[in-house]
Amino acid sequence: MSRWNLAFWTPGNAPRDDGATLGCASLGMCTQTEWIEPGSPAHVHWPQPIEGSLLRGTYTEALAKLPSGKKPSFGIAFFTTGIGMEDFLAKFRVRLPGVPLVGGAAARAAGKATGEVLPLTTDVALLLADSGNFVLASANFHKPVGLRCEFEPQGARCIERIRMALSGEWRDAVLFYRELQRRFGVAENDFDSIAFTDKTGRNIHSSLLGGYLRTGANLPMDHYLTLSVAERAAVMKDMSSFFAMENAVIFACAALRGFTNRAVHCGPGTVASFVFGELCPLPSGPAFGNLMLARIRKTRT
């Protein structure tokens, strides 16, 4: 086992790869005293080292290195892209059931296909920690509105048609979404206030791609989603409260930055990173989603 220090930086401003730093590029960060914009050349470190074993490489290589004996207490994973991790996580849940994960996909600079992760890796850098002095949690500030939908997918991350579950007429997904925006008073260029949520509690972001709804994470296999809506003032309040925890690292969806009308600051000893899709420790197991937050906190004991 080795001691690892967590770090986050704006794209192109990674700290030196010293063999003991784990982290990823972020679309801005914040600490107790700083609100760092995405274009600012900066990096931040969390002052709580974590002991564990580091696995990296392709998804296949990382899975092959998972331990077969004693299970780790938790893990932190960073992905170089926003795709491909769902199959990795499904196999991880089988191999290490009950082991929670936090983390996310690295932010990418304009024109780049991959984001920066330390230590350098192909797909994933995964730290498996064997310490009971950390507590993991997730948060979802989008609230369900009592509507359940059935969808017809076009691949893993596109919706072609959608209807109200079991009763509604099948509709073009884009037209259906536009009607939702009007119904809930959401601007046409706002794709963050409405989320689709699967049965595990995982949010999925959507945007337009031609005649389809494109999602930021893989769609559920059962083809059912519920609708959740965020009220911007309430999200700002909830996010400020979530960030106020002491001695924590927070992984927040980059889209949530759009809900802030002022700088948000963290509690003492806490840093927050805005990532391109977050890894959340849900009751059903670790899952990659959107428009959510995850947190790891160092306890005092």
pLDDT tens digits, residue range 173-217? 999 999 999 999 999 999 999 999 999 999 999 999 999 999 999
Rounded Cα gap, residues 89 and 104, in angstroms:
12
For the cut 90, the answer to whether the pLDDT of residue 262 exceeds it is no
Q: pLDDT class for 295, splitting at 50, 70, 90? A: very high
pLDDT of residue 250: 98
pLDDT of residue 288: 98
Q: pLDDT class for 131, splitting at 50, 70, 90? A: confident
Distance of CA 274 to the CA centre of its chain: 9
Q: What is the pLDDT of residues 66-115, one digit of tens each?
A: 999 889 999 999 999 999 999 999 999 999 999 999 999 999 998 899 99
List helix spans (H) across the chain: 59-64, 85-95, 173-183, 232-243
Percent pLDDT > 90 in the chain is 92
For the cut 60, the answer to whether the pLDDT of residue 301 exceeds it is no
Percent pLDDT > 70 in the chain is 99
The Cβ of residue 177 has, within 10 Å, a number of other Cβ atoms equal to: 21
pLDDT of residue 261: 78
Cis peptide before 119 (omega within 30 of 0): yes
Of the candidates 175, 132, 173, the residue with the CA atom closest to the CA atom of residue 155: 173
Of the candidates 263, 260, 296, the residue with the CA atom closest to the CA atom of residue 281: 296
pLDDT average, residue stretch 144-163? 96
Cα distances from 2 to residues 21, 135, 162, 249, in angstroms, run 11, 20, 49, 19
User: Mean pLDDT across the chain, nearest whole number?
Assistant: 95
Q: What is the pLDDT of residues 30-67, one digit of tens each?
A: 999 999 999 999 999 999 999 999 999 999 999 999 99
What are the residue boundaries of the structural domains of the chain, listed by start?
A: 2-139+233-298, 143-229
For the cut 90, the answer to whether the pLDDT of residue 263 exceeds it is no
Higher pLDDT, 70 or 152: 152
